[in-house]
Amino acid sequence: MDIKQPKGTKDWLLGEVEAVEQVEQALINIAKLYGYAGIRTPMFEHTELFTRSVGDSSDIVRKEMYTFMDKGDRSLTLRPELTAGVIRSVVEQKLLHTQDLPLKLYYVGPAFRYERPQLGRFRQFHQFGVEHIGITSPLSVAETIATGITVLEMLGFENVTVSINSLGDEATRLAYKEALKSYYEPHLANICEDCKQRFQTNPLRLLDCKIPSDHQLGLQAPVIGDYLSEASQAAFKTVQEALTSIKIQWKLDPQLVRGLDYYSDCVFEYHFVSKTGKDYGAIGAGGQFPRLVEELGGPSVMSVGFAFGIERILALLTDAGRLEGVRSYVDLYIISMEPLTDQYAFRLAHNFRYTNFKTELNLEHKSLKSSIKSAVKRDAVYAVIIGETEMKSNIVTIKNLQTQEQQQVPVGEVVHLMQHLTNQPGHHHHDEEGDHHE
């Protein structure tokens, strides 16, 4: 077949799916430990949502969005990130009026960016994130940053560092933008076309440029930290002190401005370089967004949040050898030896699945040896063998594939016996609960 997967996408195959499910489940459990509730919003939104939130001077909106007209002539966009949709929903569904504040929401799902694919960078990728909406203290910012660190530690990462910076408040940024413009003005003729536009629309974005000469220029540029208003300075100091007090490894990165327009004050990025030396880029990132809720029609509240890239987490865990052994397996492998025994085996498989055994049914009538081989390949714990003799005398043969021990069991007892052998509570439990009700 000559149809290939679209560039920048990933097919999740055997074992990888189990790994991603396991990681996502772990992330969700941790979010719940911290009191976050789940939210799911659509994968596409009106384009305007992103131009207004992520911002029309950001690279994401300018170059990376999958935007299309639907059959009703609406401009829609596959979400490039999840924060905008979550806040849109929170405002639209009036959650800030009906729920206690702060509102704590987590999400997992795909996002889409038309970026140049490379190590750790895809066009469809997945994010796990949290939004902590309606906070009142910079300590809640520190708490959220620490939550991200704990998430990574609970997944098994060690020595995660978080880079932090403050983009200040409105007053800060006005003063800083002016300083940046005066700094860049003499270089205008030499910077790239994108940067020329950034100079006009949003000078802060100048610092994001990855073109080497422009990047170099950015390194010498004034830093926003020198322009922080008093209020922003105090808030940022509180965040730093709080992080230090709980021994979070943080470092100040004065160049960190983040690629989305909705941030103010504290922004942060989590870094972890693989043991193999591979750098997949930031594993996660986030920041405070004080105006987004209001800009989308809600009340004026302060919020903070972050998102992790699931592909990057998985790549790092794989490199660290922490995902080995994650694969699909069955408890029981039922082998029907001939057409005559198929119905019998079919019913037995059904019963096993209803009693919570992962069960595979083999109706291929191959030699016993090759069927056992298939059972071993599926990592089955027991093979359940059914031939004509067994069926006629209402028994089955069970074979422990680890010890090779084999025994014959009356079919009426096999479920119970398997529960006993595999330590599955099943039967017993039910009986006991039944007694209680009497």
Which token pair is 413?
Answer: 């007892």
Q: Segment contacting ligand HAM (CB under 6 A): 124-132, 153-161, 180-188, 241-249? A: 124-132
Q: Does 317 bind ligand HAM (CB under 6 A)?
A: no
Closest distance to ligand HAM from the beta carbon of 296 (Å): 14
Minimum distance, C-beta of residue 121 to ligand HAM, in the bound complex (Å): 4
C-alpha separations of 287 from 99, 107, 109, 276 in Å: 23, 16, 19, 29
Stretch that binds ligand HAM, among 10-18, 126-134, 175-183, 392-400 (CB under 6 A): 126-134
- According to the binding rule CB under 6 A, does residue 399 interact with ligand HAM? no
Q: Pull the structure tokens for residue 375.
A: 């059972």
Q: Which of 88, 89, 83, 143 is nearest to 107 (CA)?
A: 83
305 binds ligand HAM (CB under 6 A): yes
Long-range (24+ apart) CB contacts under 8 A made by 204-209 are: 204/167, 204/173, 204/176, 204/177, 204/180, 204/257, 205/57, 205/58, 205/59, 205/257, 205/259, 206/180, 207/180, 207/255, 207/257, 208/59, 208/257, 208/259
- Give the CA-trace dihedral at 144, 25, 78, 73, to 10 degrees: -110
Q: Which residues pair with 388 in a beta bridge?
A: none
Q: How far from the centroid of its chain's Cα atoms is residue 218's Cα?
A: 31
For residue 321, give the nearest of 148, 159, 156, 161 by alpha carbon: 156
Per CB under 6 A, 285 contacts ligand HAM:
yes
Among 50, 236, 306, 333, binds ligand HAM (CB under 6 A): 306
Q: Which is nearer to ligand HAM, 283 or 361 (CB)?
A: 283
Smaller CB distance to ligand HAM: residue 110 or 426? 110
Burial class of residue 17 (count of CB atoms within 10 Å of its CB; 0-12, 13-18, 19+): middle
Binding to ligand HAM (CB under 6 A) within 89-118 occurs at: 113, 115
Q: Which residue in the set 286, 317, 348, 418 belongs to the binding site for ligand HAM (CB under 6 A)?
A: 286
Select the span of 190-198, 302-310, 345-353, 403-411 touching ligand HAM (CB under 6 A): 302-310
Nearer to ligand HAM by Cβ, of 283 and 302: the residue is 283
Q: Could you give the angle at the alpha carbon of 435 between the alpha carbons of 430 and 438, nearest 5°?
A: 130
Rounded CA-CA distance 151/398 in Å is 43
Q: Which residue is nearest to ligand HAM (CB)?
A: 309
Minimum CB distance to ligand HAM smaller for 224 or for 391: 224
Q: By CB under 6 A, is residue 295 in contact with ligand HAM?
A: no
Report the residue number, 298 or 309, with the smaller CB distance to ligand HAM. 309
Residue-wise over 360-388: b if at least 16 C-beta within 10 A, else e? bbbeeeeeeeebbebbeebebbbbbbbbe
Instruction: Give, for 87, the enclosing helix (H) or strand (E).
Output: helix 83-92
Residue 129 sits in the site that holds ligand HAM (CB under 6 A): yes
Nearest to 401 by CA among 387, 383, 423, 420: 383
Give the range of 27-35, 127-135, 222-230, 368-376 binding ligand HAM by CB under 6 A.
127-135
Please pick, from the candidates 41, 51, 58, 127, the single residue that binds ligand HAM as defined by CB under 6 A: 127
Closer CB to ligand HAM, 55 or 399, in the complex: 55
Binding of residue 287 to ligand HAM (CB under 6 A): yes
Member of 45, 59, 81, 261 binding ligand HAM (CB under 6 A): 81
Task: State how beta strands 395-400 and 302-309 pair.
Answer: unpaired
Instruction: Record the tokens describing residue 301, joined without a space.
Output: 């509240």
Contact between 131 and ligand HAM per CB under 6 A: yes
Judged by CB under 6 A, the chain residues 222 through 281 that form the site for ligand HAM are 259-260
Q: By CB under 6 A, is residue 331 in contact with ligand HAM?
A: no
Classify residue 283 by its DSSP letter.
Answer: S
Indicate the residue among 113 and 399 with the shorter CB distance to ligand HAM: 113
Instruction: Evaluate whether 150 touches 30 at the Cβ level (below 8 Å).
Output: yes
Residue of the chain from 30, 307, 337, 348 that contacts ligand HAM (CB under 6 A): 307
Count of chain residues binding ligand HAM (CB under 6 A): 26
The DSSP H or E segment spanning 332 is strand 332-336
| Closest distance of CB 338 from ligand HAM, Å | 51
Of 217, 274, 260, give the one whose Cα is nearest residue 58.
260
The minimum distance between CB 313 and ligand HAM, in angstroms, equals 8
CB of 183 to ligand HAM, least distance (A): 25
Provide the binding-site residues for ligand HAM, judged by CB under 6 A: 81, 83, 113, 115, 120-122, 125, 127, 129, 131, 259-260, 282-287, 305-309, 311-312
